[in-house]
Structure 1
Amino acid sequence: MPLRCSLAGGSFAHSVRWFVRRSRSTDAPAGRDTNNDPQTTKSAFMKCRLLALLLAPVVGAAVLLVAAGCDTYQPAGVDKQYVVEAYLRAADTLPPVRLSRTAPVEATYEFNKQAVSNAEVQVRRVDVDDAPPVGYVERADSAGVYRPAELPSRPEGAGVAQPLARYRLTVRPPAGDGIATEEVTAETVVPDTFGIVETSGDTLTWRQDELRATLTQSQYPGRRARFIVATTALAPSRENLTPLAARILDRAEGEEVSINELAVTESPVINGGNYELSPRGTLTIDIPWLVANFYGPNEIAIRALGDNYYDFVRSQNVQQGGSTFSPGAIPNVIERVEGGTGLFGSYAGATYRLRVTRGDSGGL
């Protein structure tokens, strides 16, 4: 439902708090797909860290609309909700699940402060009969982070995210937590795996050479694959900044943007349906040079997105100003979680290394 003059007191506030948090996680080294979790490794820096800057005029305009008397709406308090977060990677072990609460509108969201312990968590494949659920246990060293329980015996493949399979997450929060929710559920269909057949080169000149990758197909029910490309600089330094990234850093002075945060960037969604398949069934995608913020060695991670992940990313882009919506009619983020909020997503991934060099004009 589009947001109108009630922008100040609805689920928009939840989305802002959660998106900002997603840029601040330090659970894993930057850029690595540790624990199958691309977002909590800061891979969405440009989307998440700059969200507050991009949303500031939107929020301000909405407040002015309310103050101007577009109706007699009185901002209501935002009810607390549970937040779930997990990312299944095709053909990899089932990932950790993070469980927390939303923060009050006036507070900064910090996972450690909002983490929820003592919940019952399980993930189960639901597109086949008699698939056993995989129970989760809370990590002793990380409140609110649940991992698959280690069992002496488990059916082969039960602990692995199978390509093209549908999985359901079920979370039963502890009683007496103050949130009137007995169960949080979400489902995701995992994309098929794919591979990188060839690239336009392992050493390329920034913005002068073509940046492309040829891939085998990643199948998905009802549509062609949709990709994002995340780049991790392996030798980030101010001296290695590309001109565009250097300007971003200079303009963001005072906003606590660091070199390490710029080291991990993410492309907009790349629709595989916009590219023709070759006679051998592969497709070659163009990768925007905007994903490379540093000269030198970089790791390129290409991810084919499941529907939940894709819907979340594309609606997040709208929240950040990537649309022609007026400030009072920005749609809510698409989350697909019942009984709470967050993201239970899935993807398939492949990576390669690229060295980015300066051109004759210094990369300009």
Structure 2
Amino acid sequence: MASMLALIGLFLLTLRISRAGAQSIGVCYGLNGNDLPSTQDVINLYNEKGIAKMRIYAPFPQVLNALRGNNIELIVDVANEDIEPLASDASAAARWVQDNVLRYVLDVQFKYIAVGNEVLPNFDNAKYIFPAMENLQNAIIAAGLQDQIKVSTATYTALLAVSSPPSQGSFGNDSKLFMKPIINFLVQNNAPLLVNIYPYFGYIGDQANVGLEYALFTSPGIVVQDGLLGYQNLFDAMLDAHYSALERESGSNVEIVVSETGWPSSGNPPAASLKNAGIYYNNVVNHVKGGVGTPKRPGRVIETYLFAMFDENEKPGAQTERHFGLFSPNQQPKYSINFN
């Protein structure tokens, strides 16, 4: 069985000539709405708009089937509620890979498996993240897919005890215990850390010290001087704070993929507005695909996933959570964005 899986992996590596990897912009596809278009219409819209990457928050069969034969690279999440059994039973992780990856892998371009989303150290399932990652990685290796599919987890700024200035970025004590084995795993397997970066929340959480222009990429000059490095936008500052935190935990070689970023168009005026959201999305797209990188990691394209494809009217939480869509459910664009 193992040799057969390895042959499948080798076949896939030689079969795939065209990859979407040269393009940096993806869009997260959430399904928390009762008025969303059909899955096939969504895939068609991705292709029509030149969106080459997608993130989904669980291995939805209808999405995976619709992706067959498309050149769209995929992040697929292990939903937070499904992590524990994969951590405690290696055979359960192998079955998860069989059912949700190997069943589709000849026709679907899996890139990352995200084991959980925004899990904090005090969450009940936090202790299961790392062992689930290990078990899934072993299943991916058994299938010969370790060079194609990387296992990671999606985290966010709440794990940082210090985020400003960026050079002082560091994980809190609880977060260090949680993140250290994960960082070691990423180093060993040459995998990136997935990080959700939201200048919107940075701005509304500290408007006394964070200006709207700084959050929207519209500051005319340097806002934060950090030693020899100058920051003109909050996105770069947040990203570099995570790089600094990784460096402090022996993760200097770990790349970061921005697994979510976005700005709501409604629900919390005046910050959340159609105008501000349009400015943010266009500026972040131009910035990350422009190859300038960040002050700490210059000269690189930043692989980034915009949140989200559609407004989701059943998404829980604050009113803004239902207004992050780049498109309305009728598939009409809310903004004019050149994705790639």
Q: What is the TM-score of this pair, normalised by structure 2?
A: 0.27
Give the strand-richer structure, 1 or 2: 1
Give the helix-richer structure, 1 or 2: 2
Q: What is the TM-score of this pair, normalised by structure 1?
A: 0.26
Question: Whose radius of gyration is greater, 1 or 2?
Answer: 1
